[in-house]
């Protein structure tokens, strides 16, 4: 359905995408409010997900003491303690358990019949029960989409972020009591920049796009 995006709105979106960079130095005394953070999280949760299972979970690390516990786990990256918040983006490896509830809602709202719901829930459970890397791959794929939206929403509110893959996953799970159901995908720092991000370049389109077939 067309939403009639104006040229100005399109430019604003592209501007955000171009201007988002990974900021690694934050103003340590700057505190983003809980309300603003929740606005970003809300925007993140509009991301698409396979079967609409919404595989993301966000562990918000806001206490200074907790950030300090995280510091060695994230290889002493100073941004961990200087950022207003660190968001641990987790992925649900048992997201099929959400299917019944999500589709029941659709049935009640009249978007879906009971029969279609049962078929879909059966298919979803089947995919998860087959095992292999499916559940973990789905958790990484879908939660990452929400993480990207979070970073753009933060930029739209004049804050900066940095996605962080450099942390010890097992230690993180132990220290922050992450239930087995969730796997850590990435950390994201969010705060008020103290220094611009390091410049980064991108490959030319011709080096990253192939049409039709390799």
Ligand X SMILES: Cc1cc2nc3c(=O)[nH]c(=O)nc-3n(C[C@H](O)[C@H](O)[C@H](O)COP(=O)(O)O)c2cc1C
Please report whether residue 24 would count as binding ligand X according to CB under 6 A: yes
Give the E-state strand segments of the chain in sequence order: 56-61, 85-92, 160-164, 182-191
> What is the per-residue binding string for ligand X in 195-214, x denoting contact by CB under 6 A?
--x--x--------------
Shortest CB 162 distance to ligand X, Å: 5
Nearer to ligand X, 133 or 200 (CB): 200
Cα–Cα distance, 52 to 54 (Å, whole number): 5
Binding of ligand X by 52 (CB under 6 A)? no
Nearer to ligand X, 126 or 166 (CB): 166
| Rg of the chain on CA atoms, in Å | 19
Q: Which two tokens stand for residue 184?
A: 């850590």
DSSP E strand boundaries for 12-158: 56-61, 85-92
Total of residues contacting ligand X (CB under 6 A):
12
Nearer to ligand X, 24 or 57 (CB): 24
Give the Cα-Cα-Cα angle 66, 93, 169 (nearest 5 degrees).
35
Shortest distance, CB of residue 60 to ligand X, whole angstroms?
19
Dihedrals phi, psi of 133, to nearest 5 degrees: -90, 5
Residue nearest to ligand X (CB): 166
Contact flags string 66-95 toward ligand X, x per CB under 6 A: -----------x------------------
**Which one of 48, 122, 166, 179 is in contact with ligand X (CB under 6 A)?**
166
Give the 3-state secondary structure percentages of the chain, helix then strand then coil, rounded to 5.
Answer: 50, 15, 35
Closest distance between ligand X and the C-beta of residue 46, in Å? 20
* Non-local CB neighbours of 138 within 8 Å, separated by 6+ positions: 50, 53, 55, 91, 93, 95
Binding residues vs ligand X (CB under 6 A): 21-22, 24, 77, 162-166, 186, 197, 200
């Amino acid at each position: 359905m067309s939403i009639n995006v104006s040229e100005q709105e399109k430019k604003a979106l592209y501007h955000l995408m171009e201007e988002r960079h990974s900021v690694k130095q934050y103003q340590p005394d700057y505190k983003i409010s809980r309300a603003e953070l929740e606005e970003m999280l809300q925007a993140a949760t509009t991301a698409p997900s396979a079967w609409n299972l919404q595989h993301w979970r966000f562990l918000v690390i806001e206490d200074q003491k907790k950030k300090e516990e995280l510091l060695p786990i994230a290889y002493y990256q100073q941004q961990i303690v200087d950022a207003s918040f660190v968001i641990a983006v987790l992925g649900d490896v048992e997201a099929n358990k959400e299917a019944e509830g999500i589709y029941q809602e659709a049935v009640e709202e009249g978007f879906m019949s009971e029969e279609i719901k049962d078929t879909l829930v059966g298919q979803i459970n089947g995919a998860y029960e087959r095992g292999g890397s499916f559940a973990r791959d789905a958790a990484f794929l879908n939660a990452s989409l929400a993480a990207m939206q979070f970073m753009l929403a933060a930029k739209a509110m004049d804050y900066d972020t940095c996605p962080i893959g450099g942390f010890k996953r097992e230690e993180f799970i132990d220290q922050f009591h992450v239930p087995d159901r969730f796997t850590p995908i990435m950390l994201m720092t969010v705060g008020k920049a103290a220094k611009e991000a390091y410049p980064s370049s991108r490959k030319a389109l011709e080096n990253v796009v192939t049409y039709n077939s390799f």
